[in-house]
């Protein structure tokens, strides 16, 4: 076990390289508007909603490889994840790419590119002042000259050893990867994008909503039975999407006292806490199919960083027909409640993530976002077709 822990990054990188080699040589699943994904899912292939709980690979298998990379997504799929989750932002020339945020310095090697030094600047995003390099200042061709790096190297030093191994992906490249791996995996794999900073990009005339829907449509994802959820922390764009598409939608929840940024700009008093009441959830159910709360909405932690008493959030959401997919389940000590942390005090030591997940399964959740999707997959029983 000690060997696996110390050499896990090397083993993962070798595994990823093998996966990518197979993907690049395998024929892609041909899915178009006439031969839809949902029809293909009926042909002896298990769909991503056939298992309980539904496992969403958070930015791919980001506990094992740098997030939002070909390696991270491919690894998550081979680990059995039902959905992969790309965060989507926009380039200057209107292309959808997968990054956690539109600031590039945390997740790429842009700081090592002297040709882009003059694009370093400060701007306000969702009410917060941010300094760095921003996707909206780069064309896709320029983005493709960058290489991905680990976002939290202090906690995931093994992942940082893969810095520079992967490009920044477009949304279409992720869809292509998913289709290719469906062939070898013999199952339908879902795609679960988050639209990031919707209001910010709309103000730049780089709105993502129609582009996301149209990209899905041209790839055969057309209906409420398609293996897709589109998510956002904002509200108005989800309401807009509800009128635009039959694809399923998920409302994300941040801290209870904070507001969705579109509600700040609109001058309303709507907070995530108000959206979490029975009345608030009933309103969300008018435009969304599911909710993605921070885990604390379901089981808050007490002053000792231990899990407290389960709330009624799951029951209240289920009462109005909403699925509940909380975020984010991570195996490192720095993210776990105290009772599930490893005896090793270092923040990158791996604790008992299975124990934490079991507590939330007992609370009735339908699915979960995890950086280590294999651990969540290992807890569930047989999947139906």
Domain boundaries, the chain: 48-102+166-377
Residues 129-141 have pLDDT tens digits of: 999 999 999 999 9
Q: Are 166 and 71 in contact (CB under 8 A)?
A: yes
Active site residue 7: no
Average pLDDT value over all residues in the chain: 91
Active site residue 325: no
* Catalytic option among 58, 197, 200, 325: 58
Which phi and psi (to 5°) does residue 40 adopt? -65, -30
Cis amide bond preceding 328, omega within 30: yes
Our CA angle for 112, 113, 117, nearest 5°, is 105
Q: How confident is the model at residue 44 (pLDDT cuts 50, 70, 90)?
A: low
Rounded CA-CA distance 215/191 in Å is 12
Cis amide bond preceding 306, omega within 30: no
Q: 114: Cβ–Cβ under 8 A, 6 or more apart, which residues?
A: none
Q: What is the pLDDT of residue 21?
A: 47
Alpha helices (H) along the chain: 2-25, 37-40, 70-78, 140-143, 157-160, 171-185, 198-203, 209-218, 236-244, 261-266, 272-275, 278-284, 313-319, 353-362, 373-377
Q: What is the pLDDT of residue 211?
A: 98
Percent of the chain with pLDDT over 90: 85
Q: What is the pLDDT of residue 18?
A: 55
Rounded CA-CA distance 200/219 in Å is 27
Section 183-190 average pLDDT? 94
Q: Tell me: domain 48-102+166-377, CATH 3.20.20.190, correct?
A: yes
* Single pTM value for the model: 0.91
Reply yes or no on whether the pLDDT at 71 is more than 80: yes
Q: What is the pLDDT of residue 39?
A: 53
Residues 232-284 have pLDDT tens digits of: 999 999 999 999 999 999 999 999 999 999 999 999 999 999 999 999 999 99
* Catalytic option among 5, 7, 68, 100: 100
Q: How confident is the model at residue 14 (pLDDT cuts 50, 70, 90)?
A: low
Structure-model confidence comparison of residues 9 and 70, the more confident one? 70
Rounded CA-CA distance 171/7 in Å is 31
Q: What is the pLDDT of residue 41?
A: 46
Residues 312-356 have pLDDT tens digits of: 999 999 999 999 999 999 999 999 999 999 999 888 999 999 999
Rounded CA-CA distance 80/90 in Å is 29
Section 190-209 average pLDDT? 98
């Amino acid at each position: 076990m000690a060997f696996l822990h110390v050499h896990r990054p090397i083993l993962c990188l070798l595994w990823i390289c093998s996966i990518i080699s197979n993907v690049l040589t395998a024929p892609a699943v041909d899915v178009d508007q006439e031969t839809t994904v949902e029809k293909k899912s009926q042909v002896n292939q298990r769909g991503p909603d056939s298992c309980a709980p539904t496992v969403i690979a958070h930015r791919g298998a980001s506990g094992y490889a740098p997030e939002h990379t070909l390696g991270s997504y491919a690894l998550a799929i081979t680990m059995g994840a039902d959905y992969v989750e790309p965060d989507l932002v926009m380039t200057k020339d209107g292309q959808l790419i997968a990054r956690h945020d539109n600031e590039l310095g945390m997740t790429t090697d842009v700081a090592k590119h002297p040709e882009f030094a003059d694009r370093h600047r400060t701007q306000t995003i969702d009410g917060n002042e941010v300094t760095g390099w921003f996707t909206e200042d780069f064309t896709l061709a320029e983005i493709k000259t960058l290489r991905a790096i680990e976002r939290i190297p202090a906690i995931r030093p093994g992942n940082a050893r893969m810095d520079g191994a992967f490009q920044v992906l477009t949304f279409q490249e992720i869809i292509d990867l998913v289709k290719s791996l469906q062939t070898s995996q013999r199952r339908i794999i879902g795609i679960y994008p988050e639209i990031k900073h919707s209001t910010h990009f709309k103000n730049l005339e780089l709105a993502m909503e129609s582009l996301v829907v149209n990209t899905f449509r041209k790839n055969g994802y057309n209906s409420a039975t398609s293996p897709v959820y589109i998510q956002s922390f904002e509200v108005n764009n989800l309401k807009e999407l509800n009128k635009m598409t039959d694809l399923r939608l998920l409302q994300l929840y941040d801290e209870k006292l904070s507001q969705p940024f579109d509600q700040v700009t609109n001058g309303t008093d709507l907070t995530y806490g108000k959206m979490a009441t029975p009345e608030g959830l009933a309103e969300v159910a008018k435009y969304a199919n599911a909710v993605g709360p921070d885990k604390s909405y379901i089981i808050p932690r007490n002053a000792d960083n231990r899990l407290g008493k389960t709330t009624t959030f799951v029951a209240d959401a289920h009462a109005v027909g909403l699925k509940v997919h909380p975020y984010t389940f991570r195996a490192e000590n720095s993210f776990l409640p105290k009772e599930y942390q490893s005896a090793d005090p270092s923040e990158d030591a791996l604790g008992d993530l299975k124990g934490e997940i079991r507590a939330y399964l007992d609370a009735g959740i339908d699915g979960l976002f995890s950086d280590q999707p294999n651990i969540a997959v290992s807890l569930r029983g047989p999947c139906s077709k």
